[in-house]
Amino acid sequence: MATLRVNLQERSYEIVNRPGALGQCGALAAQVLRGRLACVVSDSRVAPLYADTVLESLRGAGLEPFLLTVSAGEQSKCPAQLAQLWEQMAAHGMTRSDTVFALGGGVVGDLAGFAAATMLRGVDLVQLPTTLLAQVDSSVGGKVAVDLRAGKNLAGCFYQPKLVVMDPETLNTLPDRVFADGMAEVVKYGCIWDEALFARLEALPDRAAVTAVVEEITTACCDIKRQVVEQDEHDLGLRMLLNFGHTMGHVYEKAYRYETYTHGEAVAAGMVDAARLGELLGHTPSGTAERIAALVRRHGLPAAIHAGRADVEAALRLDKKNLEGALHFVFLERLGRARTERVARETILAHWRDGAWT
C-alpha cells in the first residue's frame, strides 16, 4: 500500500494507492467527511464497470449516495453539462456539508471537481481516478475546469479534494489507447523531474511490463506532483513545469476539435516539439528530442502531429501561460530538469514551418 500526504495546511489531504482501494473508498472517505449525502459523478463508460462497487462501499460506511452519469468524452466537459450537474445536485437536496465523488478519468475529475467547487460555494470533493492519466496527474493538485468554445480548460479554479483514492486494478480495464494516453503524463514527469524514471520507462518494452510495476510508477508520479503542488499550489512558478509539452499539445487538440487525438497523444507530440524548439534556441541539449520521440513511440504515442500555422497562431494567443504577447514556455535543461522561459509568440512561429521546427 502507498499513501502520500499533500501538505497544504488546512487543505491537506491523503492520496491512497492500493489494489482494491475502490471498494474501500467509503470507509476511507468517512474519516474525513462531514455530511452523509454523497453525489457520485461518473461517465457512461466507467459507471457500468465501477459505480456499483463505489455505491456499495459508500452505503457500507453509512453514507447516502446517488449516481449522476454524463456521456463519456471531452464534449461533456462544458458549461452546459456543468449547469446540468448543479441542477441535479440541487434537486437531490445537497447541502454544504455533503460531498461529490468524481469516479472516472480526467474529464470527470475536472467536471465534477468544478461542480463541487462552485455548488453552494463549495462542497467537499473526493477524487476516484480510474485512468492512468487521472491517477498520475489530473486527480492531484486541485485544478478543476471546463472547456469553452475558444479553448480547453479556460474556465476553472483551484479546489483541493479532501481525499484521492486510486486503485491500480481499474487500469486493467483500460483500452490500449487510453492506457497509452496516461503514459504521456508519466513520460512528462521523467522529462521534467526524474531522469531515473525516464530511463526506467526506456527499459519497459510494452504495456505488460509497465503494468507489472504500475503501482510504483503511479506513486512516483504522484509524489513528484505532490512536491510541486506543495511549493506552488496556484501555478505561479514551479508548477508551470507540469505544462511541459502542453503548449503545443493544446494546439493539436484544438486544431482537431478534440476528436482526432487524445490529450496524451497531443502532449506526447508537444513534448517532442518543446524539446526540438529548446534545442533550436539553445536551452536543451542536442539529441533530447529524439530520445523523447523514441520513448513516446515505444509506448504507443505519436512523436509528431501536423497543424497549420493559423491553428498554431490562434491557439498560442489563448494559451493560459500567455502574458503580454509572450508565453511561459517550458524547456528542458536536460532530461530530469526543466525551467520556464518567456518566449514571444513570434519567436515560436518563426521556427514553425508546415509542421516542422526549423
Give residue-wise pLDDT tens across range 328-346. 899 999 999 999 999 988 8
Tens digit of each residue's pLDDT (9 = 90 or more) over 273-293: 999 999 999 999 999 999 999
CB count in 10 Å sphere of residue 84: 15
Residue 320 above 70 pLDDT?
no
Helix, strand and coil content of the chain, in percent to the nearest 5, comes to 50, 20, 30
Distance (Å, whole) CA 14 – CA 299: 30
- Say if residue 323's pLDDT is above 80: no
Kindly state the average pLDDT of the residues 88-107. Answer: 97
The rounded distance, in Å, linking the Cα atoms of 278 and 275 is 5
Binned at pLDDT 50, 70 and 90, residue 354 comes out as: low
Tens-place pLDDT, residues 211-226: 999 999 999 999 999 9
Nearest to 104 by CA among 71, 78, 128: 128
pLDDT band (50, 70, 90) for residue 159? very high
For residue 222, the tally of other CB atoms under 10 A from its CB is 24
Q: 321 pLDDT exceeds 70?
A: no
**Of 34 and 109, which is predicted with more confidence?**
109
Whether the Cβ atoms of residue 115 and residue 89 lie closer than 8 Å to each other: yes
- Residue 204 C-alpha cell reads as 519497459
